[in-house]
Chains A and B, each alone.
Chain A
């Protein structure tokens, strides 16, 4: 916090020193130049432009886990827009799984009826159909239909599963720094929890809000 004060103090002292040196020099100055130099100084100013390519937000919706019911899910999302077509995204979410239907039959799978489920993904997205959404006659919002897919990890019943996700979504930007989206994804992983090792499909439907930085 003190550094700008220190810096300005330093600058003042420096300029005083330079000025006094210059004055000392001017006393013993050389004769004036015959042809005075006429140099037009160009104003050099490098624009500092703030880019808002990082997107940070939250989402909430429903996650349906194969064999274990559908439960609410919520999470956070951090994205980076590389070009107008591509973006990278990290997702972290939490949900629950329940073995209620197995318990009713007298064959509990988990130690408790409800167990937490967490997942994270690193995904690549492609803005497939950029466009505009029109509200009435006078309002327009930029939008994009995108495809997203990636790899990650799903942890439930105290086990990690390497998982793949693939989905489609629509993103709408009411203002340049804020976005809303609706997304559907399939989270896939193999599990042998029910005896046979097989690929499970888990559908997720979420609504998200995000800000651009």
Chain B
């Protein structure tokens, strides 16, 4: 729980008066005793409730390169600004939530600063690259990814989830589980696929995939004389990816599935889906 900032400033002032008090306390000034005691009490309250204000060396300390940083009370544009840090000041970066950085100023104030306002500070601390470029570099050097999608499997809704691993600049191996609960039956698909990305470095990246796996179809219990079918599955897909931001991209694809039920019988299905994925 975080103290309300106006109250906290008050406590800070009182703490300051404690220090002043000890420095000049040897004087025979009886008036000074009263605020000191009050300040002492407040200091106890501060110790009991507030988090330590002293700089923790384990956090990253950066020099503010932007004209100033506005400290918001929460990680969002709507939260009020209660303090600022000026250019040349040193601040500790305590953490990050979405596009907001939690910083602590030299004076011990903790607040949230937007990424847009931190851009120069963060760039100065690192290399001559904008923060967005650094993020895009992460996208280029990604290895693992996880995603899910929603679409249509012929006329039934389809939900699928996948995990992927990049084995080469242009190739990726993916494992997918998908389920389609339709009006008459439930179809489950489990397959592995090899995905080819001819332009892996672009924001809009088309892909082609070939896969193989298992197929099961279980009709609803309310249907009479329907039997469960199982078989092999082969599929081919074309699709498009769009890198949005940070570790996040969207994808859409069209896929043709062929279920190999027995030697004489195959069923084919068309899948159209859109989804979201993350990479690490």
**A interface with B by C-beta (< 8 Å):** 44-53, 80-84, 88, 90, 122, 127, 130-132, 134-135, 137-142, 151-153, 157-162, 174-176, 190, 192-193, 197, 212
Contacts and interface: CB of A to CB of B under 8 A. Distances in A.
Interface in B129-163: 148, 150, 156-157, 159, 161
Interface string B10-50: 00000000000000000000000000000000000000010
Interface string B151-179: 00000110101000000000000000001
A156 to B, nearest CB: 11
Contact of B159 (A48, A88, A132, A151): A151
B109 to A, nearest CB: 15
A89 to B, nearest CB: 11
Contacts of A141: 1-2
A6 to B, nearest CB: 23
A132 B99 contact: no
Interface in B52-101: 60, 62, 73-79, 93, 95-101
Given A46-B125, A140-B4, A158-B221, 20 more contacts: A45-B125, A49-B60, A49-B96, A51-B95, A52-B95, A83-B98, A122-B148, A130-B78, A140-B73, A141-B1, A142-B74, A142-B75, A142-B79, A159-B220, A159-B221, A160-B181, A162-B159, A176-B97, A190-B183, A212-B97
A140 B3 contact: yes
Closest 5 CB pairs of A and B: A160-B181, A46-B126, A47-B60, A142-B74, A160-B186
Interface in B84-127: 93, 95-102, 122, 125-127
B181 A153 contact: yes
B159 A153 contact: yes
A126 to B, nearest CB: 13
B145 to A, nearest CB: 13
B153 to A, nearest CB: 10
A49 B95 contact: yes
B127 A44 contact: yes
B125 A122 contact: no
B125 A132 contact: no
A47 B73 CA distance: 23
B99 A50 contact: no
B88 to A, nearest CB: 15
A47 B221 contact: no
Interface of B: 1-4, 7-8, 49, 60, 62, 73-79, 93, 95-102, 122, 125-127, 148, 150, 156-157, 159, 161, 179-183, 186, 220-222, 244-246, 248, 276, 278
Contacts of A48: 60
Contacts of B156: 162
Contacts of A137: 4, 7
Contacts of A47: 60, 62, 93, 122, 125-126
A122 B177 CA distance: 14
Contacts of A159: 186, 220-221
Contact of A162 (B95, B161, B180): B180
A175 B150 CA distance: 34
B268 to A, nearest CB: 21
Q: Which of A47, A139, A157, A197 has the most CB of B within 10 A?
A: A47
B200 to A, nearest CB: 22
A122 B75 contact: no
B106 to A, nearest CB: 17
